[in-house]
Amino acid sequence: MTKIAVAKGDGIGPEIMDAVLNIFNAAHVPIEYQFVDMGKWVFDKGYSNGMTPEAQQAIESLGILFKGPMETPKGKGVKSVNVTARKTWNTYANKRVFQTLHGVDTVFSKAGIPIDITIVRENIEDTYGGVEHMLTHDVALSRRFITRPGSEQVIRYAFEMAKKKSTKRITCGHKANIMKITDGLFLDVFYEVAKEYPELKADDVIVDDLCMKLVTRPDLFDVVVLTNLQGDIVSDLCAGLVGGLGFAPSANIGDHICIFEAVHGTAPDIAGKNIANPTALLLSGIGMLRHLGLMQIAAIIENALLYTLEQGIHTGDFGDKAITALNTTEYAAAIIGNFGKSPEIGAKPMLPDMPTTQTHFTLEKNSMMESTEVGIEKIVGVDFFIESNEQPITIANKCMRHAGVKFKLINISNRGTQVWPTGSVFTNLVNQYNVRFESIDDFPLNQQDVLGLYVSMSGNFKICSSELLLMWGDKKAYSLAQGQ
């Protein structure tokens, strides 16, 4: 029998997980569960990544984790165990399916506009690397990683999934008009992969426009793939379109390990009251059953759920207020009581079971994902991020004294806006500047040249960080300042 790891989580986690496992047991789902210790309470016991070594070992050998929500303290303190799990095990694609559920009234269901949107969110990179520093007492910096191999993994997954479900349209949401290098890379990879899927209509929409279009014409979208943070926000927006977080399932897909969980969090405001809605976790569990090839039992449970919703049965967070809300346990029992029934609208077909996709494996070493390099790399300059509360002209005069024979001072910017050699006195400043030096007459530079300049500049300034300015062939691998 297939064995999976289960972590009940924090807050409402244990209540909704018990409800879902009761439904699974009543349906005789042929899965064995190994309960593992993960969550805030495990942090509190002194395990810094929020899981015991035994939990990590079990998940890595079983390959499937079914988890309840886990608490992350805001601001300072421990890192999110949810994000740690997704990143550590390279679950690069976060798939969230948002469908109209008959019985869950929304403005769109009332207007007869059907919704069936799958958001595929990149799950590892972006600002979720959490690599952040205070550069001065006023300036915080977050590094945003968008990589070619990472983008390709998630985008390829999205295209494969779209192809399997005979999707017509696949859309890339992005902000490449502003973040030309990071989101630009994601968008380039999207269209590179799209060439391999000519049967799918691939297009792109800028993320703010995407949000507007999703709330006005959600029926126009099918599969949407986005970077991590934008995907996080857009998928919560889509949860709102179909009735709220209580109906938003999610699957974190990797090549070796997959994690199934609800989109919502631990709902501390209602924890311990047995009133939470277990639907999102149940839908995530049904997705997991299909992932494991258990198509028939998944359809039986989903049809019972849809039938129950169609009957107007609900927990306190949704549904017709004229019908008494059930608590979590009663709601699960109602679904169990409806096994064998199907909804009038949107019944799921009984597809044949498929051989399990679960594989047991061991890995000897971390895999390096590297694409083939394009163009010859050359160092053409350096950006120094310096702390200073002086005026741009004063800084420029000091910097020019350090430029020597190999470098020339190109420009100075503050928060990305050029303030020297040209700029405006109306640009407000903070106590950190980006000072850009480039080589004179395309003189070839090496790292020692840059270090020499670094040492010289450090006589005058605190250098908070620095970045090499690179070119590949004739392509600049760095952005220009606003106004440059």
Q: Which chain residues interact with ligand NAI by CB under 6 A?
A: 12, 16, 69-72, 82, 245-246, 261, 264-270, 276-277, 280, 317
Q: How far apart are the first and last CA of the chain?
A: 63
Nearest distance, CB of residue 94 and ligand NAI, angstroms: 10
Q: Are 319 and 279 in contact (CB under 8 A)?
A: no
Q: Are 445 and 453 in contact (CB under 8 A)?
A: no
Closer by beta carbon to ligand NAI, 137 or else 321: 321
Closer by beta carbon to ligand NAI, 271 or else 412: 271
Closer by beta carbon to ligand NAI, 240 or else 483: 240
Q: Using alpha carbons only, how large is the chain's radius of gyration in Å?
A: 26
Closer by beta carbon to ligand NAI, 244 or else 381: 244
Nearest distance, CB of residue 455 and ligand NAI, angstroms: 44
| DSSP character string of 180-212 | TTHHHHHHHHHHHHHTT-TTSEEEEEEHHHHHH
Nearest distance, CB of residue 245 and ligand NAI, angstroms: 5
Render the burial of 42-62: b for 16+ CB within 10 Å, e for the rest: bbeeebebbbeeebbebbbeb
Nearest distance, CB of residue 267 and ligand NAI, angstroms: 4
Nearest distance, CB of residue 471 and ligand NAI, angstroms: 41
Closer by beta carbon to ligand NAI, 230 or else 414: 230
Closer by beta carbon to ligand NAI, 39 or else 381: 39
* Residue 50 identity (one-letter amino acid): G
Task: Return the residue nearest ligand NAI (CB atom).
Answer: 265
| 207-216 contacts, C-beta under 8 A, 24 or more apart | 207/173, 207/174, 207/175, 207/234, 208/175, 210/171, 210/173, 210/234, 211/237, 214/117, 214/238, 214/241, 215/241
Nearest distance, CB of residue 280 and ligand NAI, angstroms: 6
CA distance 275 to 15: 9
- Provide the edge-to-edge strand list for the sheet that holds 432-439: 417-420, 407-414, 432-439, 377-387, 462-472, 475-476
Closer by beta carbon to ligand NAI, 276 or else 481: 276
Nearest distance, CB of residue 218 and ligand NAI, angstroms: 21
Nearest distance, CB of residue 83 and ligand NAI, angstroms: 9
CA distance 282 to 302: 9
Secondary structure E strands in 334-446: 377-387, 407-414, 417-420, 432-439
Peptide bond into 421 cis (omega under 30): yes
